[in-house]
Structure 1
Amino acid sequence: MASAAAMPQTQPVQDDFEGNGTITTWFGDDCNINVAFSNPFPQGINTSATVLEYQDIGGQYANVRFDVSNNYDLSSNYVFSLKIYIPSSGITGTQPNQVSLKLQDGNLAQPWSTQSEIIKPLTPDQWQEVSFDFLNDEYINLDPTSPPPTERNDFNRVVIQVNGENNNDLVVAYIDDVFYNGTIAVDPEFDVLVWSDEFEGEGAINDTKWFHQTLLPTGTGWYNGEIQHYTDRVDNSNMSEGLLHIIGKKETYTNQGVTKEYTSARLNSKYAFQYGKVEVRAILPEGIGTWPAIWTLGKNIDEDGGWWDLQGFGTTPWPDCGEIDIMEHWGINQNYVSSATHTPSSFGGTINVGGQTVPTASSEFHTYTLLWYPEKLVFKVDDVIHYTYQPEEINSSTWPFNAEQYLLLNFAFLPDIDPEFSSDTLVIDYVRVYQNESIGMLESSDNNMGLQIRNFPNPANDFTLISYEIHEPGEVRLSVYDINGRLIETLVETRQQAGIHQQRWNFKGLEPGVYVYTLQVNNQTISKKIVVD
C-alpha cells in the first residue's frame, strides 16, 4: 500500500484547462461548454493554449458551474478570480457586458435560494482578469436575511454567468485560469475493498458472513407494525446465479408460538466497521405494503436476537446506538427511494431524511451507496446524491456514528399489503464495503486496562477527530504533546461517564510533524501518534 502520509487532506481549487486543474465537475445549464477549447485569442494577458468555451444557447438562466466536495471556508480566504474574453461578434441583444460569480449550496433542492453573488463589468474583445472578493466587494444575497458570505460555511458550488439572466440573448465567451485563493478539505477516497459478498454460491446464504435474525423482539411481532415472520429457510433467502434473493411470501407460518400470514428474511452482517463506503446493487420488490431496506445499526444495540447482541455487545438502546438507512422503499410510493438517519436528536419520523425517484427501481439493478465520513453521511443512487447528513454540532445526540455499525438486509410487510400479493423478491447482486488505505490508522489501541482511542483523519491538516471509549466513570484528561514531550494543548479535563466520546482538535497553522495525544482516565493512560501535514 502507498504511504498514508502521502495522502493530501486539503487541495487547491483551480483550473487552467491544460490538465493542471483540480476542478472536475464543470457543467453547463442552457450553455454548451468545451473545457479543452483551443484559445482563439492568444494575446495580451492570456497566451495559453486551451480555455473553456462558454456558449449561451438562449436559456433564460444560462450559466456554467462546478461543485467541490466540501464547503468553502470564507472566513480567511474569500477571493475567486478568472480570466475572460467576450468577442463582440458573439453577443446578441442589449444586455450589459458583465460576468457574475455566485456561491451556492449545491446540496439544496433549490441551490440558488441562499446564493451570494458578485457582478463585475466587462469590456468586449480583450482578455481581462476579474476577481470576486466576498469580503470587500459589493455582494448580493438572494435571501436578504442571510448573513455576510464570509460568515457562512454552506457554499460548495460556484456558478459563472455572463451577461446576466432573465433574457434569451446569446453570448459566446472564453474563460481561463479559474482560481480560489484558499483550499478545501478533501474527503478520504474509500478505494480499498475490505469486505464483500458477491453471492457466488448456490442454495443457502454464506453463514460465515450473514446471520438470520428471526427472534420476535416483542414476543409477538416486529417493530413498526410489521406483520411478517423472518425465517432462516432457503424458501425466504437463497443464492443462485450470482445473486442473493430475499423472498417475501404470502403463506401461513407458525414460529415461536405465533402464527403470521407472511414470511421473509432479515440478515445481519457478521462484519462491523467504522467509516467507509457501502455499495449495494439491487432490484427492489414492488407493491403496496412492501418495505425492503438496506441499512445499518450500531454494533452496540441492545436488541434480543440480533447477531451482535448475542455476541455480548448489546449495551445501548435504540436510537442511541445510531441507525443509517441507506435505502428504504415503501411500495405505496413506488419508485421513490429514501435515506435517513436516526439519532437521539431525531428518530422515528426523523427530520433527517432525503430521497429521489428511481423510475426503474423494481425492474432494473441500481447501486445504492453510503459514504460515511467522520463528520457527515452522503447517500447516492447510481452516483446521484440525494441527501447529506452533516449536523452543525457533533455530539452524542446528533452523531452516534463514531463507533462501528453492521449491515442489515430485509424485506418487511406492512398492514396495508395488497390482498392480491403472493410473492416478490429483493434481488441483490453484491454488497461491498470500501475504506481508505490509511483506515488502518483508525484501529483502536487496546490495552489491559480497557481504554480505546483512535483518530481520523491521520495524517491530518487543520483538524482531526479523536474518539475514545471508557468503561467506567472517571476523571478524564486528553492532551496533545510534541515529539519532545512538550504540552501543546489540553483538549479535555473533566469527569466523564462511561461510553464513547469524541473531541475535535483544531490545529490550523501548527508546524507539521509527529505529535502524540494521550488519554488519562483515573490512573490509566494510553497514547497514540498523529501526523500533522
Structure 2
Amino acid sequence: MRKIVLLAFSLASYMLINAQTDISEDFESPTPNLAWFADDSFIDTHQANPLQNSNNNSNFVLIYQDIGGLFANIGFDYSPTFDLSGTHEFSLLIYVPSSSITGNSPNQISLKLQNGNLAAPWSTQTEIIKPIVLDQWQTITFDFNTDNFINLDPNSPPPSQRINLNRLLLQVNGEDNNDPVTAYIDDFSFTSDAGSGNGDEPIFDELVWQDEFNYSGPVDDSKWFHQTQLPQGNSWFNGEIQHYTDRIDNAEVSNGTLKIIAKAETFTDQGVTKNYTSARLNSKFAFTYGKVEIRAKLPTGVGTWPALWTLGQNIDEDGGYWNNQGFGTTSWPACGELDIMEHWGDNQDYISSAIHSPSSFGATVNTGGQNVSGASNQFHLYTMKWTEDFVRFSVDGAPHYTYNPAVKDDNTWPFDLPQYILFNVAILPNIEPSFTESSLEVDFIRIYQEESLNTDDTEVAKPVKIYPNPADSVLHVESKNHIIQYTIYNISGKLLIKNKLNQSTIDLSQIPKGIYILKLRDQNQKLLTQKFIKE
C-alpha cells in the first residue's frame, strides 16, 4: 500500500512479572526503547503531536512516511514472544485527518503478528483489521481471542496456540494501496495474563533428564537400551522389514550428534534373515508430565519411517527395556502412546504427531501435523508439552496439534502414568530399490518438569532477612550474599512465581492473601526456604 502514516508510540515500561506482560510506548523520549523499523517507509520516533486535546495531550508522536512501497508497514521485533494463550489486549490511540486522505482509502488499521525467525515471516502471519473514524483521536483494541482474525495460511493454528509470534506490524488502509494517508498513533500497549486461558498451564523449567550427545562411540548405556528382540517371532509391527541391532553400525555418537542409521544390508539375527538394519532405542528414564525438546534432522527416502515418541512404562512388550525390568502389565494401546514426530519418506517434509489410546489407535483420528521445510537437511526442534489436562505438539515453536479430550478416562487418557522415550528408524515394504542408507540425526534431547519444592533446603544462604512478615503488597529481602532469584509456592507446593530479584523487593500484588513458601537462591546457587504470610 502507498501512504504517509504518522505514528506515535514510546516504550515506558517493559516487564515480566508472574506471567503478566506490560508493554507501553508513548514516544515522549527522544530515544524509544523498542527498535522500530519501517518497510519501504521513513519513520521518526519523536515528533510533535499535531492535535493536542483532552483525548490525547501527549507532546510527541512517531512520524512514519510511506516512500513508495505497496505495504508500508512499521513495527518491531519482540522478545521473547507474544503470549496470546490467556487474557490479552493490544491497544492504541489513532488520529487520521481527512485532509490527508486521497484515492481509495478504506479507513482501517491492521495489526499483524509474524514469526520474524522465518525467511518469509509473512507466510504464517495472523492479522486483525479494525475500522477507524477520521478527524478524531480514538482508542482501538485488538484481541486475538475475541476479535475476528485472519490467518494468511489457513493451516496455521489459532493465534492463542502460537508460541512463535515475535514480530508486530501496523498498517493503515490495507495491502496494495498506492494512495497516501497520514495517521498519528499514540499510547500503544500490550497486556497479557499468560496461560490464564489454558487453566494456568504448568511451567516446565527444571531440566530433569538429557542427552547432549557430546561424546563419541556407542550410545550411553546408562541412559539408553537397544531394543532388538523381534516381538512377533520373525517380524516387527506395522509390516516393518528391518532388523533392529545393537551395533555401532546402526547407532553411533560422533561430532556432537546421535546417528540412527538405517541400512540396506543382509543381516541374520534370532534365526531370521532380513535385508535392512536400523536401531530402536529405549530411554532408561520414565516420567509423568513435562516438556520434551528434541533437536533432530530426519532421514530421506521413500519407505523410511523415523519416529521420536513415547510408550507407557507399563507396556507388556517382550524385549522392551521396562518390560525386562518387570513393569510390563498392560498391553498396547491401553498403555498409551505419544508420537512427538513421525515422518514418512513418501511425504517428504510433512511432520505428523499422534495420540494412541484405547479410544483411538491404528488409524487414529487423534493426529495433526505441519509442513516443515528442510526436515531432512536442517535441524528442527520437536517439542511435546504433556500436562494433566492436555498434550501439545509443535515444531520450531509452531504448534500443530493439541489433544485435550473432554472426558478423560482409561479409554481416552492413559496419560497419567509414566512414559519413556523411543527413537527409531523403521523400513517399510515400499522402500526404493536404490536405497542404501540414511540417518536420523539427533543433536539433543531435554526433558523438563515443574521445579520441585524441597522444604528441606537448609538456610545456607544466611544471613537473610525478609520483612515485613506478614506482608501486604511488598516483601523486602536483606542478605549479605547476592540473591539472584526468588520462587514462590502456595502451601500445597504449586509454583506460582519465579523471577529474578531486583532491588531487594518482591512484588506480592499478584497473589491473594494466604500462607506461602519462598525459596531464595544466591549467586553461589545456595538456597533458603522460608514461609511468609500475605495479608
Q: Which band: TM-score by shorter chain?
A: 0.5 to 0.7
1:128 match: 138
1:38 match: 45
Q: Using the alignment, how far apart are the partners of 1:55 and 1:456 within structure 2?
A: 56
Aligned with residue 250 of structure 1, among 264, 284, 291: 264
Are 1:375 and 2:389 matched, yes or no? yes
Tell me, what secondary structure is at the counterpart of 2:216? coil
1:232 match: 246
Tell me, what secondary structure is at the counterpart of 2:323? helix
Q: Using the alignment, how far apart are the partners of 2:350 and 2:340 within structure 1?
A: 13
Are 1:388 and 2:401 matched, yes or no? yes
Query: Which residue identity does 1:177 align to in structure 2?
Result: D
Q: Using the alignment, how far apart are the partners of 2:59 and 2:448 within structure 1?
A: 40
Q: Using the alignment, how far apart are the partners of 1:265 and 1:153 within structure 2?
A: 38
Give the conservation status (yes or no) of the 8 Å contact 1:391–1:398: no
Deviations 1:216-249 (A, max 9, x none): 1222211111111111112211222332221112
2:467 match: none
1:86 match: 96
Are 1:16 and 2:25 matched, yes or no? yes
Aligned with residue 268 of structure 1, among 259, 267, 282: 282
Tell me, what secondary structure is at the counterpart of 1:40? strand
Query: Which residue identity does 1:513 align to in structure 2?
Result: G
How much does 1:210 deviate? Answer: 0.1
Query: Which residue identity does 1:201 align to in structure 2?
Result: Y
Query: Which residue identity does 1:280 align to in structure 2?
Result: I
Give the conservation status (yes or no) of the 8 Å contact 1:281–1:429: yes
Give the conservation status (yes or no) of the 8 Å contact 1:13–1:184: no
Distance 1:203 1:460, change over 3 A: closer
1:484 match: none
Are 1:183 and 2:193 matched, yes or no? yes
1:320 match: 334
After superposition, residues 346-365 of structure 1 pair within 5 angstroms as 346-365=360-379
Give the conservation status (yes or no) of the 8 Å contact 2:66–2:72: no
Distance 1:46 1:402, change over 3 A: farther
With normalisation by structure 2, the TM-score equals 0.64
Q: Using the alignment, how far apart are the partners of 1:292 and 1:400 within structure 2?
A: 24
Give the conservation status (yes or no) of the 8 Å contact 1:441–1:458: no
Distance 1:55 1:375, change over 3 A: farther
Distance 1:316 1:423, change over 3 A: same
Distance 1:374 1:179, change over 3 A: farther
2:432 match: 418
Give the conservation status (yes or no) of the 8 Å contact 1:33–1:55: yes
Distance 1:134 1:300, change over 3 A: closer
Q: Using the alignment, how far apart are the partners of 1:118 and 1:92 within structure 2?
A: 20
Query: Which residue identity does 1:241 align to in structure 2?
Result: N
Q: Which runs of 5+ in 1 are unaligned?
A: 1-6, 143-151, 443-453, 462-508, 517-528
1:279 match: 293
Q: Using the alignment, how far apart are the partners of 2:161 and 2:271 within structure 1?
A: 57
Q: Using the alignment, how far apart are the partners of 2:266 and 2:61 within structure 1?
A: 70
Q: Using the alignment, how far apart are the partners of 1:91 and 1:213 within structure 2?
A: 70
Query: Which residue identity does 1:11 align to in structure 2?
Result: Q
Deviations 1:130-151 (A, max 9, x none): 457999x9x8799xxxxxxxxx
After superposition, residues 65-464 of structure 1 pair within 5 angstroms as 68-72=82-86, 81-86=91-96, 91-99=101-109, 119-124=130-135, 127-130=137-140, 162-163=172-173, 169-171=179-181, 173-179=183-189, 183-185=193-195, 187-381=201-395, 383-391=396-404, 393=406, 395-396=408-409, 397-436=411-450, 438-440=451-453, 458-460=494-496
CA RMSD of aligned residues (A): 4.9
Q: Using the alignment, how far apart are the partners of 1:411 and 1:399 within structure 2?
A: 27
Tell me, what secondary structure is at the counterpart of 2:495? coil
Comparing 189-198 and 47-56, the one that deviates more: 47-56
How much does 1:89 deviate? Answer: 7.4
Query: Which residue identity does 1:16 align to in structure 2?
Result: E
Deviations 1:427-449 (A, max 9, x none): 2222222334x24589xxxxxxx
Distance 1:69 1:240, change over 3 A: same
Distance 1:237 1:455, change over 3 A: farther
Deviations 1:485-527 (A, max 9, x none): xxxxxxxxxxxxxxxxxxxxxxxx99542499xxxxxxxxxxx
Give the conservation status (yes or no) of the 8 Å contact 1:99–1:122: no
How much does 1:255 deviate? Answer: 2.0
Give the conservation status (yes or no) of the 8 Å contact 1:31–1:57: no
Give the conservation status (yes or no) of the 8 Å contact 2:453–2:493: no
Query: Which residue identity does 2:230 align to in structure 1?
Result: L
How much does 1:267 deviate? Answer: 0.3
Give the conservation status (yes or no) of the 8 Å contact 1:298–1:321: yes
Give the conservation status (yes or no) of the 8 Å contact 2:261–2:279: yes
How much does 1:50 deviate? Answer: 6.9
How much does 1:122 deviate? Answer: 2.2
Q: Using the alignment, how far apart are the partners of 1:123 and 1:154 within structure 2?
A: 32
Q: Using the alignment, how far apart are the partners of 2:511 and 2:407 within structure 1?
A: 23
Distance 1:134 1:54, change over 3 A: farther
Query: Which residue identity does 2:494 align to in structure 1?
Result: N
Query: Which residue identity does 2:133 align to in structure 1?
Result: L
Give the conservation status (yes or no) of the 8 Å contact 1:33–1:52: no
Q: Using the alignment, how far apart are the partners of 2:513 and 2:404 within structure 1?
A: 29
Q: Which runs of 5+ in 2 are unaligned?
A: 1-15, 115-122, 151-157, 456-489, 498-509, 518-530
How much does 1:190 deviate? Answer: 4.0
Q: Using the alignment, how far apart are the partners of 2:349 and 2:239 within structure 1?
A: 22
Distance 1:127 1:360, change over 3 A: same
How much does 1:90 deviate? Answer: 6.2
For these two proteins, the number of residue pairs brought into alignment is 427
Q: Using the alignment, how far apart are the partners of 2:294 and 2:62 within structure 1?
A: 39
How much does 1:94 deviate? Answer: 3.3
Give the conservation status (yes or no) of the 8 Å contact 2:130–2:140: no
Are 1:513 and 2:524 matched, yes or no? no
Deviations 1:426-473 (A, max 9, x none): 22222222334x24589xxxxxxxxxxx99992359xxxxxxxxxxxx
Tell me, what secondary structure is at the counterpart of 2:301? coil
With normalisation by structure 1, the TM-score equals 0.64
Query: Which residue identity does 1:387 align to in structure 2?
Result: H
Distance 1:318 1:155, change over 3 A: closer
Q: Using the alignment, how far apart are the partners of 1:52 and 1:376 within structure 2?
A: 46
Query: Which residue identity does 2:265 align to in structure 1?
Result: E
Q: Using the alignment, how far apart are the partners of 1:532 and 1:351 within structure 2?
A: 48
Distance 1:457 1:266, change over 3 A: farther
Give the conservation status (yes or no) of the 8 Å contact 1:31–1:56: no
Tell me, what secondary structure is at the counterpart of 2:346? helix
Q: Using the alignment, how far apart are the partners of 2:366 and 2:57 within structure 1?
A: 48
How much does 1:351 deviate? Answer: 2.9
